[in-house]
Amino acid sequence: MCGIVGYIGKRDVAPLLLEGLQRLEYRGYDSAGVAVCGKSGLKTVKAKGRVRELDAKLPKRFAGSVGIAHTRWATHGAPNDVNAHPHLDSEGKVAVVHNGIIDNASELRAKLTADGVEFASETDSEVLAHLVGRSEAETLEEKVRHALRSIEGTYGIAVLHADFPDRIVVARNGSPVVLGIGEKEMFVSSDVAALVSHTRQVVTLDDGEMATIKADDYRTYTTEGSRTSASPTTVEWEAESYDMGGHDTYMHKEISEQADAVDRVLRGRIDDRFSTVRLGGLNLDAREARAVRRVKILGCGTSYHAGLIGAGLIESLARVPADSEPASEFRYRNPVVDPDTLYIAVSQSGETYDVLAAVQELKRKGARVLGVVNVVGSAIARETDGGVYVHAGPEVCVVSTKCFTNTVVAFALLALHLGRTRDLSVADGKRIIEGLRRLPAQISEILEREDEIERLAHEYADARSMMFIGRVRGYPVALEASLKLKEISYIHAEAYPASELKHGPLALIEPAMPTVAVVPDDDLLEKNRAALEEIKARSGRILAVAHREQEKADHTIVVPRNEVELDPILMGIPLQLLAYHTALALGRDIDKPRNLAKSVTVE
Ligand code: F6R
């Protein structure tokens, strides 16, 4: 979604800001803009479309060494030049970029209009520029604080003022703001991706925190004005992790990285002596782990699907009832919050609003909440009482692949840990550990079969609609594969438990609606085969993902066996490649599918 970049130092700011915006392109946006404070005051340029279109519009003379920039994802008002950020106050002295949503914008707008303010745009964000501009406070910090006092809603903001050209003031409430600490220069962004090519020393603001950045100094404080002591941490991700690395798309790069990514999530965590794992950040001692009576996992989209597989792993290895629910629904049904339930929030970005809001609701009701998160130091990682980092490295493609796989492996680790504090035997612990260790090589084996999967994708790319089926452990794999296909190929897809076919969806089966069936060699194999028979009897085409050739299927992608509990991890991987090559065959914009954004920081 929207992205913020800011710089103050000695260098020419415009190229730096544009480079930062390009690093944020993956988040999804529809317009972009930049404001620079130079000798002749504040100058802004805004453009609908891509950052390159903004670049083309920049005048030759656009010098300055302090500036802010933004990529916008339209919420209030159409995506056009006027609604793009930065927004200015009436005198053109204040420039504001804003991520988030101001809930009381129409009220504030009406009040300001009654006072004679003329609005240029239809956005909620513009009210901020006017509120800062009209404040009679002496310092920029006070002016911003004044403005924020009137605001209800979420924000990550950066403010530039022509009368205070030595500083940028930023603030955070529900939308990320990260400072990048350089040598006699400072950066700010909503995402470390825009900073890591310049500095890996960052300060992540908390909600309710503000900061002033100057070329050689920064200061953090609360919105009430008391100083806070945010000290820099080092980002572990390298700038190169954000490059395409010779692949044509980020999605392809990220699918290909999965063997290494899984190796990383396992590294240093396995404890062979006790056939268990060490999860340093869990903050759950053995007594507390044993006291857990139920596990509830909350996530959205792909992370919710990873949570479904995670719940299955926890039930089978730890024998604790567990389920996964879309976080976006959870807090609206006034959930019963049970003190003996362990709640787990799952999020790749660690910033998804729906997940964060569910965590906050749970904490307010006194629940213990853990996080399974990829981005270190993200809002969800910080709001939760402990958790497991997924260590997938940065994921740039809008649709998630390697983070999904690593999240499921992180759940396997957690399930093993919970299991070994309860009734999972040493022998079973050892069996799962050996299975986990086999995963990277088995993932590489699947990835080597890309050509075969590409050929199959061409066979099925003419489908207007596809059915995905699986049973028990295979069902979340089917759900995730169906989501992946629809997101990037725009082919309609639905997922059903194979057992549900005859209760309705069988009516859809005909040659034009192929079925992808997840058919592991587990105790449900015969039941799955019966479902394939039912489809075949209705002349449906079948592509099976299985541990051996399936007679009833038109095609089978054979994947290596692991332990039954871990099979879903491997079975999902060829289906990521199937979605990828189908979308490629249809000429889709794979890394930036229409209407979608990488990190959904608004409701
Ligand atoms: C789909 C996808 C989304 C995200 C969802 C939650 O490929 O990536 O469904 O999984 O928006 O995002 P995170 O995991 O960042 O909370």
Phi and psi at 268, nearest 5°, equal 75, 5
What's the pLDDT score for residue 356?
94
What's the pLDDT score for residue 28?
77
Residue 400 Cβ inside 6 Å of ligand 1? The answer reads yes
Q: What does pTM read for this prediction?
A: 0.86
Q: What is the mean pLDDT of residues 42-48?
A: 95
In the chain, residues under CATH classification 3.40.50.10490 are 244-447, 449-603
In angstroms and rounded to an integer, the radius of gyration of the C-alpha atoms of the chain is 25
Tell me the best of 325, 349, 397 to mutate to test the pocket of ligand 1, counting ligand atoms within 8 Å of each CB and taking the most.
349
Lowest mean pLDDT among 39-43, 131-135, 302-306: 39-43
Distance CA 345, CA 330 (A): 11
Distance CA 205, CA 222 (A): 10
397 assigned to active site:
no
Q: What is the mean pLDDT of residues 571-588?
A: 98
Distance CA 584, CA 226 (A): 53
Residue 138: exposure state from Cβ atoms within 10 A (0-12, 13-18, ≥19) = exposed
Distance CA 576, CA 20 (A): 29
Q: How confident is the model at residue 457 (pLDDT cuts 50, 70, 90)?
A: very high
478-482-485-491 Cα dihedral, nearest 10 degrees: 140
Judge whether residue 37 has pLDDT over 90. yes
Distance CA 69, CA 46 (A): 9
pLDDT by residue (tens digit) across 60-71? 888 899 999 999
143 assigned to active site:
no
Nearest atom in ligand 1 to the alpha carbon of residue 403 is 14
Give Cα 153 to chain centroid, integer Å.
21
Tokens 């792993």 sit on residue? 313
pLDDT, the chain, mean: 94
Within a 10 A sphere around the Cβ of 455, how many other Cβ atoms? 11
Distance CA 43, CA 372 (A): 43
Q: How confident is the model at residue 291 (pLDDT cuts 50, 70, 90)?
A: very high
What's the pLDDT score for residue 246?
93
Distance CA 54, CA 14 (A): 11
* Structural tokens at position 43: 């100058």
User: Who contacts 204 (Cβ-Cβ below 8 Å, separation ≥6)?
Assistant: 176, 177, 178, 179, 230, 233, 377, 382
Give Cα 334 to chain centroid, integer Å.
25
Nearest atom in ligand 1 to the alpha carbon of residue 352 is 16
* Structural tokens at position 63: 């010098």
Judge whether residue 241 has pLDDT over 90. no
What's the pLDDT score for residue 395?
92
Distance 260 CA to ligand 1 centre (A): 21
Residue 206: exposure state from Cβ atoms within 10 A (0-12, 13-18, ≥19) = middle
Measured CA to CA in angstroms, residue 560 lies from 446, 520, 548, 574 at distances of 8, 10, 9, 11
pLDDT by residue (tens digit) across 458-486? 999 999 999 999 999 999 999 999 999 99
**Size (the chain), residues:** 603
Q: What is the mean pLDDT of residues 414-424?
A: 97
Domain 3-242: homologous superfamily in CATH: Aminohydrolase, N-terminal nucleophile (Ntn) domain (3.60.20.10)
Asked whether the bond before 440 is cis by omega within 30 degrees of 0, the reply is: no
Contact predicate 469/518, CB 8 Å: yes
Distance 302 CA to ligand 1 centre (A): 5
Q: What is the mean pLDDT of residues 7-16?
A: 95
Looking at residue 271, its amino acid is D
Give Cα 439 to chain centroid, integer Å.
24
What's the pLDDT score for residue 243?
84
Helices within 372-464 (DSSP H only): 379-383, 402-421, 426-447, 450-460
DSSP state of 499: G
Phi and psi at 80, nearest 5°, equal -150, 180
At 90 the three-state DSSP class reads: coil
Measured CA to CA in angstroms, residue 77 lies from 70, 120, 304 at distances of 16, 12, 31
Measured CA to CA in angstroms, residue 179 lies from 184, 234, 473, 478 at distances of 14, 12, 42, 40
Q: What is the mean pLDDT of residues 228-234?
A: 88
Residue 399 Cβ inside 6 Å of ligand 1? The answer reads yes
Distance CA 412, CA 566 (A): 8
Judge whether residue 297 has pLDDT over 80. yes
Contact predicate 307/299, CB 8 Å: yes
Q: What is the mean pLDDT of residues 197-218?
A: 94
Q: Name the pairing type of β-strands 542-546 and 515-519.
A: parallel
Distance 573 CA to ligand 1 centre (A): 17
Residue 34: exposure state from Cβ atoms within 10 A (0-12, 13-18, ≥19) = buried
Contact predicate 398/598, CB 8 Å: yes
The continuous run of DSSP H or E covering 316 comes out as: helix 301-318
Helices within 124-176 (DSSP H only): 126-134, 140-150
Residue 429 Cβ inside 6 Å of ligand 1? The answer reads no
* Structural tokens at position 557: 């992608």
In the chain, residues under CATH classification 3.60.20.10 are 3-242
Distance 374 CA to ligand 1 centre (A): 11
Tokens 């995506």 sit on residue? 79
Least Cα distance to 352 among 324, 333, 371 occurs for 371
Distance CA 228, CA 347 (A): 27
User: What percentage of residues in the chain have a pLDDT greater than 90?
Assistant: 86
Residue 355 Cβ inside 6 Å of ligand 1? The answer reads yes
Distance CA 130, CA 142 (A): 14
Least Cα distance to 119 among 98, 80, 151, 90 occurs for 90
In CATH, what is the architecture of 244-447?
A: 3-Layer(aba) Sandwich (3.40)
Q: What is the mean pLDDT of residues 580-601?
A: 88
Catalytic residue, from 2, 300, 397, 403: name it: 2
Q: Which residue has the higher pLDDT, 497 or 103?
A: 497
DSSP state of 523: T
Residue 352 Cβ inside 6 Å of ligand 1? The answer reads yes
Give Cα 47 to chain centroid, integer Å.
26
* Structural tokens at position 448: 């080597």
Distance CA 490, CA 487 (A): 6
Nearest atom in ligand 1 to the alpha carbon of residue 349 is 15
At 562 the three-state DSSP class reads: coil
Domain 449-603 in CATH 3.40.50.10490: yes
Catalytic residue, from 46, 402, 484, 598: name it: 598
Tokens 């268990």 sit on residue? 276
Distance 406 CA to ligand 1 centre (A): 13
* Structural tokens at position 509: 């089966």
